[in-house]
């Protein structure tokens, strides 16, 4: 209860700070994650929209999370490409760190699939995955692995795909041995991002799937995919020998089923 009241109090502090001390106007709270809270702002002069992300107050005494928060800011500055939000400014409000970044005006694939009911064919799904891998390669070339490439963190608009939320990102560790990996979600190399890309691709494919029986089966059985596509996804998910790097994963997309959308 105390934690809730503390967060609510800080919410009002942020709102007052934005309205009284900056060139922005507060619009609304966008969402709450495990470590932070995001707000939508609009710049009073340019009319451009931005996002303020701040650390949750309950993490104030956790040095490691402070370091992770600052690392997230540093990574966004290091990546510096159009498909990733850029940091506008950063600071602290009553010892709680925050930063303001670009707002990506687009639709997440979570919204597209579960709210709007959009469906994706095999060819469309592979083309979108190809575009995502091209973007992920750029991030990896900066020495960074995202480690949270889920459908809420991948957006699409007229400019293409965008990746947000680098809260779980890490610097690539080149010394990790593939055969020593126990949890592909958390590993600090390309395996993690490819694992999430595999699940992302499955979400796209399942958007076009209608169950014909009540018994739950494996995705390999339910989706009735070509064997080459099954093999490809299984390598992304480390069910088979994983790809040695993201470029190999991109070059290995089953081209027989890949068509421009």
* 30 close to 51: Cβ distance less than 8 angstroms: yes
Structural tokens at position 135: 């973007």
Q: Is residue 233 in a domain?
A: yes
Q: For residue 107, what is the enclosing H or E element?
A: strand 107-108
Tell whether 53 is in a known binding site: yes
pLDDT of res. 11: 86
Within this chain, do residues 96 and 143 fall inside the same structural domain, yes or no?
A: no
Structural domain total, the chain: 2
Structural tokens at position 240: 């088979």
Structural tokens at position 232: 């490809």
The model's pLDDT over 132-160, given as tens digits with 9 standing for 90+, comes to: 999 999 999 999 999 999 999 999 999 99
Within this chain, do residues 193 and 143 fall inside the same structural domain, yes or no?
A: yes
Buried b (16+ CB within 10 A) or exposed e, 160-181: ebbbbbbbbbbebeeeeeeeeb
What gap in Å lies between CA 58 and CA 35, rounded to an integer?
9
pLDDT of res. 33: 81
For 17, 21, 40, 246, the CA distances from 94, given in Å and listed in that order, are: 11, 14, 20, 42
Helix axes 227-236, 190-206, angle to 10 degrees: 140
* CATH number for position 157: 1.10.510.10
Within this chain, do residues 227 and 143 fall inside the same structural domain, yes or no?
A: yes
Within this chain, do residues 148 and 196 fall inside the same structural domain, yes or no?
A: yes
Q: Is residue 2 in a domain?
A: no
Length, in residues, of the chain = 261
Helix and strand totals (H; E) in the chain: 8, 10
What gap in Å lies between CA 39 and CA 227, rounded to an integer?
45
Within this chain, do residues 62 and 134 fall inside the same structural domain, yes or no?
A: no
Within this chain, do residues 62 and 121 fall inside the same structural domain, yes or no?
A: no
What gap in Å lies between CA 92 and CA 97, rounded to an integer?
4
Ramachandran bin of 94, using left for φ above 0, alpha for ψ from -120 to 50, beta for the remaining angles = left
pLDDT of res. 3: 52
* 209 close to 217: Cβ distance less than 8 angstroms: no
Within this chain, do residues 93 and 127 fall inside the same structural domain, yes or no?
A: no
Q: Which residues of the chain carry a pLDDT beneath 70?
A: 1-5, 179, 259-261
Q: Is residue 55 in a domain?
A: yes
What gap in Å lies between CA 182 and CA 81, rounded to an integer?
32
Within this chain, do residues 211 and 248 fall inside the same structural domain, yes or no?
A: yes
What gap in Å lies between CA 86 and CA 216, rounded to an integer?
43
Residue 38 structural domain:
7-102
Within this chain, do residues 215 and 90 fall inside the same structural domain, yes or no?
A: no
Within this chain, do residues 170 and 251 fall inside the same structural domain, yes or no?
A: yes
Q: Is residue 153 in a domain?
A: yes
Give the residue from 79, 102, 125 where a domain finishes: 102
Give the residue from 56, 84, 102 where a domain finishes: 102
Q: Is residue 1 in a domain?
A: no
pLDDT of res. 260: 46
The model's pLDDT over 22-49, given as tens digits with 9 standing for 90+, comes to: 999 999 999 888 788 999 999 999 999 9
Give the residue from 102, 136, 159 where a domain finishes: 102
Within this chain, do residues 65 and 150 fall inside the same structural domain, yes or no?
A: no
Q: Is residue 219 in a domain?
A: yes
Instruction: Determine phi and psi for 240, rounding to 5 degrees.
Output: -125, 180
Within this chain, do residues 140 and 242 fall inside the same structural domain, yes or no?
A: yes
């Amino acid at each position: 209860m105390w934690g809730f009241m503390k967060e609510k109090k800080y919410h009002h502090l942020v709102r007052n700070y934005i309205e009284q001390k900056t060139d922005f106007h507060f619009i609304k709270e966008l969402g709450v994650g495990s470590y932070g809270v995001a707000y939508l702002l609009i710049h009073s002069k340019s009319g451009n929209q931005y996002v303020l992300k701040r650390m949750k107050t309950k993490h104030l005494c956790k040095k490691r999370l402070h370091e992770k928060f600052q690392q997230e800011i540093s990574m966004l500055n290091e990546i510096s490409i159009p498909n990733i939000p850029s940091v506008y400014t950063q600071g602290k409000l009553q010892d709680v760190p925050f930063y303001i970044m670009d707002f990506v005006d687009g639709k997440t694939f979570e919204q597209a699939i579960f709210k709007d009911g959009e469906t994706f064919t095999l060819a469309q799904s592979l083309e979108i995955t190809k575009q995502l891998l091209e973007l992920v390669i750029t991030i990896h070339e900066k020495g960074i692995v995202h480690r949270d490439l889920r459908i809420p963190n991948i957006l699409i608009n007229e400019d293409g795909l965008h990746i947000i939320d680098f809260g779980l990102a890490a610097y690539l560790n080149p010394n990790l041995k593939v055969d020593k990996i126990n949890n592909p979600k958390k590993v600090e190399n390309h395996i993690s991002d490819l694992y999430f890309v595999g699940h992302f691709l499955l979400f796209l494919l399942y958007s076009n799937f209608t169950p014909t029986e009540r018994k739950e089966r494996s995705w390999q059985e339910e989706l009735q995919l070509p064997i080459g596509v099954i093999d490809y996804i299984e390598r992304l998910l480390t069910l088979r020998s994983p790809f040695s790097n993201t470029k190999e994963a991109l070059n290995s997309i089953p081209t027989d089923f890949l068509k421009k959308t």
